[in-house]
């Protein structure tokens, strides 16, 4: 029994175990093939405990499943920027599920698992062997912790021409990591899981490159005798970018959905943050969609409003007791340095106009919410607000929850378990 199964006692998880079908696949195939009510599973990046808690509460209110997709930068054997290892993250989820009385399905996946998909790989100049070995250790930790979905992403290579590896190289490395994962799974007598392949970050390779990659990987699995390796999702460029005004390019998405259907797979979209047409996803046939930085931004903008309340109610000598959370957040983001990935040529955030600067700060807070300095300041903010009978933490979680609910509703996830039961 996987670690997640110890606290996910939902009806769908029970059916998944009884039928030996990975839970993510069971849900999608039931709704697309049997009930014929298309859905899109929402994947939430576990950026901080507040975002995780808000996602679980949203799913509880809607009686919907929730899927967490943890990148190597977020959750890994070294703690990532959240401080969670795969095992400690699963343990945290178990405690939250019990505390909140959550009874719906909970799915956990590894996002972008592969060489050079962890900032450390690039920063420390890892070569291929070292990057692949690191990715394997991370995949093993995710599997033994009980993850349900593993995204194998080998589309990055700083040593390839223009940093873009060719299809045959991506396919070869993808197969190597899937074969490794299956060996780990069988060695530890773990249940079957689902895999996700390709990426939206592959320098926006066109659909023909994705088509060739999927063909090579599916053929390679057959050649290697890996029939139990259950690929479920493919990823590709659907025009989405992490920025306000984001929209799904429905033409690109439909072409990728048709490609996926050829192999009885589903399209998963990434960079779905701020997307303005979420209601179109299920109808097109998008099986899953990931959102992350946007929720960090929602958290940041809510904290700014809470700071206004704090400042309005602190006077005289008490002003020395301000949380200073915004100043500490800003310094932590500057110290972290990853904001530079989003700004070409700027030497300082102050060079940007205020709108762009606030957006960059918002999405980059995800790297520092778990920084001890930030955590301490946020606790101080909540403490100050409590003195004027304001539950700042409750307000914060409520705002994040509302943004998550919006996507769950548009993705047709309301009352999913009851609808699943009616199909039996």
Alpha-carbon distances, residue 324 vs 212, 308, 314, 317 (angstroms): 52, 11, 12, 15
pLDDT at res. 344: 78
Helix ranges (DSSP H) in 84-224: 86-100, 119-123, 128-145, 167-187, 207-223
Closest CA to 308 of 248, 410, 238, 395: 395
Do 202 and 339 lie in one domain? The reply is no
φ, ψ (nearest 5 deg) of residue 30: -65, -45
Q: Which long-range contacts (CB under 8 A, 24 or more apart) does 73-78 make?
A: 73/118, 73/119, 74/45, 74/46, 74/47, 74/111, 74/366, 75/46, 76/118, 76/138, 76/141, 77/137, 77/138, 77/141, 78/120
Based on the fold, state whether residues 250 and 391 are members of the same structural domain.
no
pLDDT in tens, 390-423: 999 999 999 999 999 999 999 999 999 999 998 8
Same domain (yes/no): 237, 307: no
Residue 197: phi and psi, rounded to 5, are -130, 160
Instruction: Say how far residue 269 (Cα) sits from the centre of its chain.
Output: 11
Residue 164 has pLDDT above 80, yes or no: yes
- Tens-digit pLDDT profile for residues 207-258: 999 999 999 999 999 999 999 999 999 999 999 999 999 999 999 999 999 9
Share the mean pLDDT of the chain: 95
On whether both 67 and 92 belong to a single domain, the answer is: yes
Same domain, 281 and 371: no
Shared domain check, 263 and 322: no
Q: Are residues 228 and 362 in the same domain?
A: no
In this structure, the answer to whether residues 112 and 76 fall within a common structural domain is yes
Question: Residue 205: what pLDDT?
Answer: 76
Between 204 and 29, the more confident residue is 29
The percent of residues above 70 in pLDDT, for the chain, comes to: 97
Which of 17-21, 120-124, 348-352, 391-395 has the weakest average pLDDT? 348-352
Q: What does the pLDDT read at residue 135?
A: 98
**Residue 319: its pLDDT value, please?**
54
Q: What is the pLDDT of residue 393?
A: 98
What pLDDT is recorded for position 318?
Answer: 54
Whether residue 318 sits in one domain with residue 210? no
Q: What are phi and psi of 234, to 5 degrees?
A: -120, 155
What number is the average pLDDT over the span 181-199? 97
Say which residue the tokens 């192999």 belong to: 263
**245 and 326, same structural domain?**
no
Q: Does residue 107 have a pLDDT over 70?
A: yes
First to last CA, the chain: 24
Q: What is the CATH number of the domain that holds 213?
A: 3.20.20.70
Helix (H, G, I), strand (E, B) or coil at 232: strand
Over range 179-208, report the average pLDDT: 92
- Is it the case that residue 89 has pLDDT exceeding 90? yes
What are the pLDDT digits (tens) for 354-375? 999 999 999 999 999 999 999 9
Same domain? For 166 and 307 the reply is: no
Q: What is the DSSP string of 282-324?
A: HHHTEEEEEE-HHHHHHHHHHHHHHHHHHHHT--GGGGGG---
Whether residue 204 has pLDDT greater than 70: no
What phi, psi does 226 have (nearest 5°)?
-105, 50
Question: How many angstroms separate the CA atoms of 150 and 112, rounded?
Answer: 8
Q: How many domains does the chain have?
A: 2
> How confident is residue 343, by pLDDT bands cut at 50, 70 and 90?
confident
Number of helices (H) and strands (E) in the chain: give both, helices first: 16, 8
Give the pLDDT of residue 104: 97
- 261 and 312, same domain (yes or no): no
CA triplet 226, 264, 194: central angle to 5 degrees? Answer: 50
Tell me whether residue 227 is exposed, middle or buried, using C-beta atoms within 10 angstroms of its C-beta: 0 to 12, 13 to 18, 19 or more: exposed
Report, as an integer, the average pLDDT of 339-350: 83
pLDDT reading at 315 higher than 60? no
Instruction: Residue 374: give the domain boundaries.
Output: 296-400
pLDDT at 403: 98
Model's pTM, two decimal places? 0.96
Q: Bigger pLDDT: 153 or 345? A: 153
pLDDT at 424 over 80: no
The Cα 85–Cα 78 span in angstroms is 7
Mean pLDDT of 38-63: 98
pLDDT for residue 350: 86
Q: What is the pLDDT of residue 341?
A: 87
Exposure string over 151-169, b if 16+ CB within 10 A, otherwise e: bbbbbbbeeeeeebbebee
Mean pLDDT across 74-96 = 97
């Amino acid at each position: 029994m996987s670690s997640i199964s110890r606290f996910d006692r939902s009806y769908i998880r029970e059916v998944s175990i009884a039928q030996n079908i990975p839970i993510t696949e069971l849900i999608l195939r039931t709704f697309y093939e049997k009930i014929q009510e298309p859905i899109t599973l929402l994947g939430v990046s576990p950026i901080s405990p507040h975002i995780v808690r808000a996602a679980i509460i949203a799913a509880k209110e809607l009686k919907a499943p929730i899927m967490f997709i943890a990148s190597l930068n977020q959750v890994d054997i070294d703690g990532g920027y959240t401080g969670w290892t795969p095992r400690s993250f699963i343990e945290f989820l178990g405690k939250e599920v019990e505390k909140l009385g959550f009874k719906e399905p909970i799915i956990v996946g590894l996002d972008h698992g592969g060489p050079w998909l962890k900032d450390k790989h690039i920063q420390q100049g890892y070569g291929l062997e070292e990057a692949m070995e690191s990715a394997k250790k991370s995949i093993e930790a995710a599997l033994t912790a009980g993850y349900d979905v593993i995204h194998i992403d080998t589309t990055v290579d700083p040593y390839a021409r223009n940093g873009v590896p060719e299809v045959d190289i991506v396919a070869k490395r993808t197969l190597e990591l899937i074969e490794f994962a299956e060996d780990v799974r069988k060695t530890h007598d773990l249940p079957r899981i689902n895999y996700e392949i390709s990426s939206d970050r592959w320098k926006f390779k066109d659909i023909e490159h994705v088509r060739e990659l999927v063909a090579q990987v599916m053929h390679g699995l057959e050649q290697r005798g890996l029939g139990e390796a259950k690929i479920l999702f493919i990823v590709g460029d659907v025009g989405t970018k992490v920025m306000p005004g984001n929209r799904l390019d429905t033409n690109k998405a439909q072409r990728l959905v048709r490609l996926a259907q050829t192999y009885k797979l589903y399209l998963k979209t990434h960079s779905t943050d701020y997307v303005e047409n979420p209601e179109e996803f299920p109808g097109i046939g998008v099986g899953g969609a990931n959102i992350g930085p946007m929720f960090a931004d929602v958290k940041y903008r809510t904290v700014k409003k809470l700071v206004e309340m704090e400042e309005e109610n602190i006077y005289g000598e008490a002003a020395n007791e301000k949380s200073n959370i915004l100043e500490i957040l800003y310094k932590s983001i500057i110290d972290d340095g990853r904001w530079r990935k989003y700004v070409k040529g700027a030497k300082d955030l102050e060079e940007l106009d205020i709108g762009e600067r606030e957006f960059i700060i918002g999405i980059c807070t995800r790297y520092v919410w778990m920084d001890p300095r930030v955590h301490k300041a946020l606790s101080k903010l909540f403490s100050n607000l409590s003195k004027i009978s304001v539950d700042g933490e409750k307000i914060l979680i409520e705002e994040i929850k509302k943004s998550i609910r919006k996507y769950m509703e548009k993705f047709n996830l309301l009352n999913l378990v009851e609808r699943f039961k009616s199909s039996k």
